[in-house]
Structure 1
Amino acid sequence: MASSSHKHYHVHGFDSRQHLEHYMSDKPDMVFKEDILKFPIENFAKTFAKGHIKGDVLIDLSLGSFVHHLYAASEFFKHILVLKVRDRCILELKRWLDTRTGAFHWGHATKHHADVHGKSEELEDKEGKVRSAVQHVVKCHLEKENMTDPIVLPPADCLISFWLIDNISKDQEDYVRYLRKFSKLLKPGGHLLLFGALEISYYTVGKDKIRTLTYDEEFVRKALAGEGFVIDDCKVKKRTAVSDLTDYKGMIFISAHKDK
């Protein structure tokens, strides 16, 4: 399939449940466990455990209906505001938050987070803490000056963006534009935790191939520096998954703060 016929997440959307089943499930044949499930859980946990990222408000601007990247954040923030581009992803996330029948099972991710902290006896409490912290899930309109119009969000102490900017940017200039726009949600000196895929052009959800921006580590480092961010930590993991569902070469996790 030519890249011109690939779909775009923010324009066409995708089946949010299939997306989770392909890349986040606990099925024995789910090959992305190390790269997309464990790698971010471990790095978010280690980053928050350092104790310097905390405050009143954390904003999450991430792809799909993921929640595993918020487990560590809920230990340090009582107010997590989640912004979503697609209605279907909002419904999928709310199904889990409201513990409705048929919600996606995140128990395997919860267990791994607890194992990282050596607190495997706190599984149920961990999911409850995340649900309590995520107080609002808000529709996000990317092209509006105020993306949550008419709601005005308080400035955040921390912003997490998990694999979203890659999916909404048509080129590298667009990536920088969205990075600049997202950073306006932060307080001066606020922290950005960024997770993305390196050297990727597509991923598959059901029968659809979703286009995503191709970039390398050098590009994202320069983009952050150009927007006034100081990188505190950067971790790259080479691909281990064997699958034709997607063609990424690696995953990148970056912790940075906005220079005052």
Structure 2
Amino acid sequence: MSGDAGPLVRKLESIVELAPEEREGLRTLPLTIRDLRPQQDIVHEGDRPTQSCLVLEGFALRYKLVGGHRRQILAFHIPGEIPDLQSLHLKTMDHSLATLTAARIGFIQHRALHDLMARHPRLTGVFWRETLIDAAIFREWMVGLGRRRAPARIAHFFCEMFVRLDAIGLAKDRVIRLPVTQEELGDALGLSAVHTNRSLQELRSQNLFTFEGGRLVINDWEGLKRAADFDPLYLHQGSGGDAP
């Protein structure tokens, strides 16, 4: 099945201005679309893929297993992102990629991406910029895991996800869809279930947000940023961090 890569255009235009011909080239990328169930693996560590995946709807995550069963979530991915773009040049996957929710995924053959960048050379730089921002997010997560208290890690994650989703038009009236469980928060932020629950309770007592049913409502954006020590610079988005 083929489809429209419109979400990719919206995501890239949140970080750089595209020319009309670049926009059209991205929109008409040949996609094979699959609807996947929640928690379904897309690509496994050790695979040598010949295609990359574009998140069209829903959420995905990167992860590694430690000791064969303990999961560390490395990143969450939103519509418009290509989580395994690095497989264009790193031929063997060094981590796994899975859906977080039910998701619509567009698979793009590597040769189609190479052809697109040959026709529109500036897009090579655009994808490189997107990859560098991805690396900046990894660095910020590393700082959080190493130096932030547990409540600040959670507050920082909420701030980041709001800014990323707002940039692609998926935030409204200080509300975003954020279908992450407490267990998944712990797997991403290096926290036990008990520590995650206590930290959420501490933040809730400050009336900074409401988080339930996969929905985050921000009650106090400035207070949440202070609790997180959040500076959106690392996201490199023109609107990043403005009050919702």
Q: TM-score surpassing 0.5?
A: no
TM-score with structure 1 setting the length:
0.31
TM-score with structure 2 setting the length:
0.32
Q: Which entry has the higher C-alpha Rg, 1 or 2?
A: 2
